[in-house]
Chain A
Amino acid sequence: MSRSSGGGEGDGGRAERASALVTDPFDAHPGLAPLRTAARAGDWAATQDFFAGLDSVDKTSVAVGAFGGIAGTETYLEKAVAALPGDPLARTLLAERYIRIGWEIRSGARAEHVSRDQFDRFHSWLRKAEQLLIEVCAEQPAYAPAWTSRITLARGLQLGQSEARRRYDRLSAHHPHHFSAQTQLLQQVCPKWGGSWEAAHGFAQECAASAPDGSHAGILVAEAHIEHWLELEDSEATAYMHGVPVRDDLRHAALVSVLHSAYRQDWHWITGHSTFALAFSLGGHLEDAARHFAALGSMASESSWQYLGNWQSRFMKFRKAALATL
């Protein structure tokens, strides 16, 4: 679903060329680039080496997610899985790839616009992924990327709120503030997937409050508000994001996360600033947005922005308006 207007931005005349934006995570994070090279070459040894060199589970999950977006890797992954039946990485990457293939068939449309055949094929890919990951999680219960993908799978397979939450709880027992998983569960607890706004905002706040300062969890607060905005009718949506409570909520969340002195710029930082930039822009809080646009420079993550039609040019417009306040 995309939305045409968030209001609040002044049209600064000529939009800058959207192509100047760096949106591909492999371009934005130089450290990720070798993975793309390995994937395109179908080089399992290099893929394995890349993951072996990562120093945090956060990075591993980001890399697995980014990898999933590279088409055509199934063939070499299937070979790797066959050759290394006990290897969690090969199965997790393959499962992530199956999830993407399935989701591309389903499309991002609302369920009522997805045909029965699309759903059947979607579910069939997801089941293949799930069965790989049931094994991985059984063997390696602390392996965060597999649980993260299984939270996405619980949603796609419509296994229910309590099952998605169970998966998150199993993961968080080992990794209490794993942002990649939190952002997946946040989707599940939104009304569009059978949750409620109370649950969505509650989960975002709970994650933000329990995480140490300077962690990513505050980004969830902004994500929840953007999701809420998306569901409201135009005038209500504008009023919602312009409201002082939402603004204050966003400010606090940004201060304890991406704007905190302890914040480490790992591979979530572009998503973080992009999300806050969007949330503040939609509410017309240009000065607040400006700090995040400034931090991003020419980088942008489509994460939440993809809800906007033609998001890159909207990004440029919002950015221009925000930076003009500096």
Chain B
Amino acid sequence: MTTYDAYDRTTVDDTTAGRPDGAELAALDGLIAHTTAQGVPVLHAPRPGEITAGLFFRVGRADETLPTSGITHLVEHLALHRLGLSDLHYNGATANAYTLFHVTGSEAEVVAYLNAVCAALRDLPLDRLETEKEILRTEAAGRGAGPGTPMPLWRYGAQGYGLSSYDELGTLRLTADEVRQWAETRFTRDNAVLWITSDHVPDGLDLTLPAGRRIPAPAPSSALPVTPAYIRGEDGHVVLTSVLRRTTAAAVFTDVLGRALYQDLRQEGGYSYTADADYSPRDADFATLTAYADALPRKQAAVVGGFVDTLARLRAGRIEQAELDAVRGKMLKMYDTPDLGAALLPTYALSLLLGHRLLSPEQHKAELNAVTVADLREVAREVWDGALLQVPTQEAEWAGFTPAPQYSSTPVVGTRHPSLEDDDVTLVIGEQGVSLLLPGGPVTVRFHSCAAMTARPDGARELTGLDGFRVAIEPTLFRGVTAQRIAALDAAVPAELVVPLPARDPERIPRPRERQSGARAAGNADGGKAARRWPLGLIGMVVLDVVFVLAILTAALDASDAEHPAWYYLARAIVPGAMLAYYTHRAYRRAQDARG
């Protein structure tokens, strides 16, 4: 039972125009039959041999919030629990925008499975809740993060489509009521589509589910003010994502890009072993393109360079007709499959579920045949315009990518708690939120846009903003973070956003290390995302200096008389002058460090 983001890239794509209805289902005539069972739309087409069926629900990780994340996955697990250790080939999958229960077996087995899933969804075995939460936590620990895991959080923040970057925090706090209510409102007959490889709807099928409504996929949030943007990622991987309108040309382009990367980075350059691109529908109208290449440590720079050049080549429209024809041919060949209707069922079911327009095979083939090199160039430009690149190298500004935001725009005002490890880091706990003041800028989470706060019994708190910025508060590492200050935090964050974490072994509660200078500490203090900013502190100090000097000179000249000559006033300015000079120097050093 896995969580993944892509279902099937054999996409039948088109710019969409509204929700599919009876008229649109006509596109399937002669290929796929459609009906309903207990109010659930059913698509079916025959295929010899065992039957495969899939029950889709239009709910996934993107519908959750950070403190409830994992709730869909939990429902999926609970729904499958009673099926236990049967030999049946079945599984469940929770993606960003849908959940799928699927099964392969005899008609009787498939019916038994689907009936059991729906029965469980009507009445979840919530006595199993704590055990399943534990299982999900174990599953997550064993899964490990893939190379592109952070990308969604940088694009979307800690909400919606960005949640797939995060742990399933809900597995630490969800209650039976919340899970039951989620199932009642999201796993409804009106939010489902069934597909089945059969020429008839099997007898005995009972998909009875509560009534509800079709919930459209969530609107995307944005945490990326400027694209193309880049972030630094781990060694060995180059990843690029972009969001594209769902068109046939976009799907073709993705394959052309995958082949071009493979050709340029592996066959020609020998810099990569894997180089490919993937196209996954995100919602009704948009898809996520993901391009990936791995890199040997000594070849990383060349992989980034080659990646940039391959994209530039496609953007310039230098695409051989043969490249387009090869991809087109491969996609057209898909229609030569025997039992075509059955093969296309999952794709059509997902389109129906998401509200993406349904194209008949003929319509889709016609669109494929109409794609030109110029269309691909347009898609390449769209990819570039919305790109987020993750590089293992120092930076990617040279190639025209802007660093994704590393700091929040402003800090909050409140009690100041200097770091016990680093003179240049200060924690601020205020009425509006919390900030970590780093040499390069502030990292702020405001209570009104807080996504979640984890809490340990020893007082440690970690706040994550909807924009993805994070402030970790370890009371042992900052001066004056008393139980009262933590209590103030707890009072300010809504209870439903608090995720309790278990007590730590006292050994694991951090203790201050040797003090450090600011330049190195920026990377240690646990802040979120760092772009270059104006050195506001320094500018402020310089302005203050100018005002001070002008004021002193004016005073000295205006007020001087026989008894108090000008030097008398000037001498009195020496101590404040020296202090200003000291603080200006300090601000200058910080500004320098920030740029480091």
Write out, one digit per residue, whether chain A residues 156-168 have a CB within 8 A of any chain B CB (1) or not (0).
0111111101110
Within 8 Å CB of A160, what residues of B?
300-302, 393
Quick check: which of B25-33, B107-115, B309-317, B483-491 contacts chain A, the rest being far away? B309-317
**Alpha-carbon distance between A130 and B306 when the two chains are bound, in angstroms:** 14
Number of interface residues of B (CB under 8 A): 25
The reply on A126 being an interface residue by CB < 8 A is yes
Write out, one digit per residue, whether chain A residues 138-170 have a CB within 8 A of any chain B CB (1) or not (0).
110100000000000110011111110111011
Within 8 Å CB of B300, what residues of A?
160, 162
Write out, one digit per residue, whether chain B residues 383-399 have a CB within 8 A of any chain A CB (1) or not (0).
00000000001100111
The reply on A270 being an interface residue by CB < 8 A is no
Within 8 Å CB of B299, what residues of A?
162
Q: How far is the CB of B320 from chain A (nearest CB, A)?
A: 12
Tell me whether B399 and A130 are in contact (CB under 8 A).
yes
Among residues 302 to 335 in chain B, which have CB atoms less than 8 Å away from a CB atom of chain A?
302, 304-306, 308-309, 312-313, 315-316, 318
The reply on A116 being an interface residue by CB < 8 A is yes
Q: How far is the CB of A174 from chain B (nearest CB, A)?
A: 13
The reply on A111 being an interface residue by CB < 8 A is no
The reply on B592 being an interface residue by CB < 8 A is yes
- Bin chain A's interface residue count: 20 to 34
The reply on B510 being an interface residue by CB < 8 A is no
**Alpha-carbon distance between A225 and B558 when the two chains are bound, in angstroms:** 70
**Alpha-carbon distance between A141 and B312 when the two chains are bound, in angstroms:** 11
**Alpha-carbon distance between A199 and B121 when the two chains are bound, in angstroms:** 66
Q: How far is the CB of A219 from chain B (nearest CB, A)?
A: 26
The reply on B292 being an interface residue by CB < 8 A is no
The reply on A265 being an interface residue by CB < 8 A is no
Among residues 260 to 274 in chain B, which have CB atoms less than 8 Å away from a CB atom of chain A?
269, 271
Tell me whether A165 and B398 are in contact (CB under 8 A).
no
Within 8 Å CB of B306, what residues of A?
166
Within 8 Å CB of B394, what residues of A?
158
The reply on A48 being an interface residue by CB < 8 A is no
The reply on A131 being an interface residue by CB < 8 A is yes
Within 8 Å CB of A126, what residues of B?
398
The reply on A59 being an interface residue by CB < 8 A is no
Within 8 Å CB of B269, what residues of A?
166, 169
Contact of A138 among B304, B313, B393, B397 (CB under 8 A): B313
Tell me whether A159 and B393 are in contact (CB under 8 A).
yes
The reply on A70 being an interface residue by CB < 8 A is no
Tell me whether A138 and B315 are in contact (CB under 8 A).
yes
Q: How far is the CB of B270 from chain A (nearest CB, A)?
A: 10
Within 8 Å CB of A120, what residues of B?
595
**Alpha-carbon distance between A53 and B513 when the two chains are bound, in angstroms:** 68
**Alpha-carbon distance between A158 and B304 when the two chains are bound, in angstroms:** 13
Within 8 Å CB of A161, what residues of B?
298, 301
Closest Cβ neighbor of B305 among chain A residues: A163
The reply on B400 being an interface residue by CB < 8 A is yes
Which of A154, A159, A166 is most buried by chain B, counting CB atoms within 10 A of its CB? A166
With A139-B318, A159-B301 given, is the CB distance from A166 to B271 under 8 Å? yes
Tell me whether A130 and B305 are in contact (CB under 8 A).
no
The reply on A135 being an interface residue by CB < 8 A is yes
Closest Cβ neighbor of A129 among chain B residues: B398
Within 8 Å CB of B592, what residues of A?
116
**Alpha-carbon distance between A137 and B308 when the two chains are bound, in angstroms:** 11
Tell me whether B316 and A135 are in contact (CB under 8 A).
yes
Among residues 393 to 417 in chain B, which have CB atoms less than 8 Å away from a CB atom of chain A?
393-394, 397-400
**Alpha-carbon distance between A170 and B308 when the two chains are bound, in angstroms:** 14
With A126-B398, A169-B269 given, is the CB distance from A134 to B308 under 8 Å? yes
Contact of B398 among A130, A137, A138, A167 (CB under 8 A): A130
The reply on A3 being an interface residue by CB < 8 A is no
Within 8 Å CB of A116, what residues of B?
592, 595
Tell me whether A138 and B400 are in contact (CB under 8 A).
no
**Alpha-carbon distance between A157 and B394 when the two chains are bound, in angstroms:** 11
Among residues 77 to 100 in chain B, which have CB atoms less than 8 Å away from a CB atom of chain A?
none
The reply on A127 being an interface residue by CB < 8 A is yes
Q: How far is the CB of A98 from chain B (nearest CB, A)?
A: 13
**Alpha-carbon distance between A212 and B333 when the two chains are bound, in angstroms:** 49
**Alpha-carbon distance between A138 and B595 when the two chains are bound, in angstroms:** 32
With A131-B399, A137-B312 given, is the CB distance from A162 to B271 under 8 Å? yes
Contact of B316 among A139, A157, A162 (CB under 8 A): A139
Among residues 152 to 193 in chain A, which have CB atoms less than 8 Å away from a CB atom of chain B?
153-154, 157-163, 165-167, 169-170
Tell me whether A134 and B309 are in contact (CB under 8 A).
yes
**Alpha-carbon distance between A116 and B588 when the two chains are bound, in angstroms:** 13
Closest Cβ neighbor of B595 among chain A residues: A116
With A139-B318, A166-B271 given, is the CB distance from A157 to B302 under 8 Å? no
Q: How far is the CB of B379 from chain A (nearest CB, A)?
A: 16
Tell me whether A163 and B595 are in contact (CB under 8 A).
no
Tell me whether B318 and A163 are in contact (CB under 8 A).
no
Within 8 Å CB of B398, what residues of A?
123, 126-127, 130-131, 153, 157, 159
**Alpha-carbon distance between A297 and B400 when the two chains are bound, in angstroms:** 47
Within 8 Å CB of A134, what residues of B?
308-309, 312, 399-400
Which of A116, A131, A154, A159 is most buried by chain B, counting CB atoms within 10 A of its CB? A159
Closest Cβ neighbor of B393 among chain A residues: A160
22 contacts between A and B (CB under 8 A): A120-B595, A134-B399, A137-B309, A138-B312, A138-B315, A138-B316, A138-B318, A154-B305, A157-B398, A158-B394, A159-B301, A159-B305, A159-B398, A161-B298, A162-B271, A162-B298, A162-B300, A163-B304, A166-B269, A166-B271, A166-B302, A166-B306
Which 9 A/B pairs are nearest by Cβ-Cβ distance?
A160-B301, A138-B312, A162-B302, A163-B301, A166-B302, A163-B305, A138-B316, A138-B313, A162-B301
Q: A126-B398, A137-B312 are in contact. List 7 more A-B contacts (CB 8 A).
A: A116-B592, A123-B398, A127-B397, A127-B398, A135-B312, A137-B309, A154-B305
- Which B positions have Cβ atoms within 8 angstroms of A? 269, 271, 298-302, 304-306, 308-309, 312-313, 315-316, 318, 393-394, 397-400, 592, 595
